[in-house]
Structure 1
């Protein structure tokens, strides 16, 4: 009787295993499908890290029981082996040079202007953190242009959504900014800006991207809870907007023939169509030089939605995501330099 019960239990577990494996296998095609065509599939991309972990656990479960069922999840994980580096890196890279470029991207959630955190010193801690890390280039999303901003760089480009509005985007630089502009995304509080900086003999375009927010509020709503239907509808709409914004960005990027670095909060993961389009012919600094979990958004499981993507003119020497909870995003920083062939 016990043997029969155990057999039924294993069959049920393998059924769940099969469903999770098939869903993960299907998720591998998500980067090739625009959210405009199938926004519901775009939502699935957010769960890829969980599905990878679940399949690894299923494989371990069957191996420990010496069951051939372990082949299923093992096969599916191996098929998408390249995806693992988007979630976790066993070893990093650390080559520190005196003349490399330190570039930081940080969604600061308006420096806590509206008091989402009851700690009144959050803004000061952000300023101190930025000063201590001492980046050469700082790109900020969800910027708030208040009177008490304590960010000291010789050059800056700040773009608010309207003249009387203090919310927007900002890029700070230790190097001269010779050109700057905004793509002025419509019908949204999000935006994309760019600055052309001069370092030595080189002009480098820095894109600062903040795509449509999907509006997850971890303390108020989560998938599978009572209000998840409303959350799903809002996210489907946001993903469609992201696709449109990505097309606008790609068209603008095509007009620039020089060196470039893309930074920002994509509000989408590395398993998405949006990421695949923007990261094409670019390097993902985390994948090249990061270590550990690539988590950049403070959620119940690792979501990496903030990126630094230098083009192939550059070499990535180091990457770090900082575990400081001053915002709902974690700041990220890369150290890069021009390859000798392009100096």
Structure 2
């Protein structure tokens, strides 16, 4: 007869195998036809969870000097090799003497228009935060109509702006905005079919050079980050909805990829991708561009919190025309997203 400890160890090992298998399957997501198997792309949302789980299993087996540690050890090694880090140890020292372009992206969730956060005067707090950080270029997603007003304190710092009315001007609702201290030469909206989401780009003059800045907001999963909301959701309906959202995101990513490939200008892509760095969606847009967090960030790089589960779904990407001087994630609770800033130098 097997003892209780022996049975428990067998169960733990089987659970360990499941965690390792799902992590390895997540690696395969980047190498399959995402359009035909969108449900597999959902695995990318859970990669940090399975990384932490495998890490705990690895420590457990190592403490017991058990060879079963090889299972999670191999899965974690493959994950790091093919997916990149979940956590980054920032060892760099930013060069304070180097001048560059400061660029911030922030999904402000309507400046708490519908009181999603029980914090008074969030709109003023957000404006004060941005004014304190004072980025040279500011990209907002889910920004309200108030920012169109010339009376807005925030606009006084920016001589150039471009705002996109996704829902139509009569509703007084704005979804995307680019604010710049540098001249904006040209603008364009990138409409996504059958979606309230969109992207935009502005050609910005920096000295004698022109760069193209893309501000994007991909299809949302529309999951409120509260336990009670997720617990009430029907699991089958939730899976179907998530699957449809990923399919839309992939379609939108391919549209953006065409626009990115169509220009020879130096390129920056920022915004709310609504998906992780382990997804086909992210990989399609990123291509061979650099992720400022992976180059100069530290920690988990959290830009969104779901049930206190740190997720990185907002990004700043650059092509090789730029030198990435610094990257910063701000831990300020002013929205369901957290702002991201990078310092870049056009080479």
- Report the TM-score, using the length of structure 2 for normalisation: 0.93
- Pick from 305, 313, 324: which aligns with 1:305? 313
Residue equivalent to 1:75: 74
C-alpha distance in structure 1 between counterparts of 2:268 and 2:48, whole Å: 26
Q: How far is the alpha carbon of 1:247 from its aligned partner? A: 1.4
Change (3 A) 1:37 1:92: farther
C-alpha distance in structure 1 between counterparts of 2:91 and 2:191, whole Å: 37
Which digits, 9 at most, give the CA deviation of each residue in 1:31-63, with x for residues without a partner?
233543112112111000000111011010000
Residue equivalent to 1:150: 153
Residue equivalent to 1:322: 330
Q: How far is the alpha carbon of 1:105 from its aligned partner? A: 0.5
C-alpha distance in structure 1 between counterparts of 2:179 and 2:293, whole Å: 22
Which digits, 9 at most, give the CA deviation of each residue in 1:158-217, with x for residues without a partner?
011123232320000010000111012232111100001011111011000100001111
Change (3 A) 1:65 1:98: closer
C-alpha distance in structure 2 between counterparts of 1:21 and 1:232, whole Å: 22
Residue equivalent to 1:239: 246
Aligned 8 A contact 1:35 1:239 in 2:
no
Q: How far is the alpha carbon of 1:266 from its aligned partner? A: 0.3
Any gaps of 5 or more consecutive residues in structure 2?
none
- Report the TM-score, using the length of structure 1 for normalisation: 0.94
Instruction: Give runs of aligned pairs for residues 212-291 of structure 1, distance below 5 A.
Output: 212-219=219-226, 220-222=228-230, 227-291=234-298
C-alpha distance in structure 1 between counterparts of 2:286 and 2:225, whole Å: 28
The root-mean-square deviation of aligned C-alpha atoms, in Å, is: 1.7
Relative contact order (alpha carbons < 8 A, sep ≥ 6): 1 or 2 greater? 1
Aligned 8 A contact 1:86 1:294 in 2:
no
Residue equivalent to 1:180: 187
SS at match of 1:114: coil
- Pick from 163, 167, 170: which aligns with 1:164? 170
SS at match of 1:267: coil
Any gaps of 5 or more consecutive residues in structure 1?
none
Aligned 8 A contact 1:221 1:228 in 2:
no
Instruction: Give runs of aligned pairs for residues 72-151 of structure 1, distance below 5 A.
Output: 72-82=71-81, 85-93=84-92, 94-146=94-146, 147=149, 149-151=152-154
Residue equivalent to 1:337: 345
Aligned 8 A contact 2:164 2:175 in 1:
yes
Aligned 8 A contact 1:92 1:290 in 2:
no
Q: How far is the alpha carbon of 1:86 from its aligned partner? A: 4.0
Q: How far is the alpha carbon of 1:221 from its aligned partner? A: 2.8
Greater CA drift, 202-211 or 154-163 = 154-163
Aligned 8 A contact 2:189 2:201 in 1:
yes
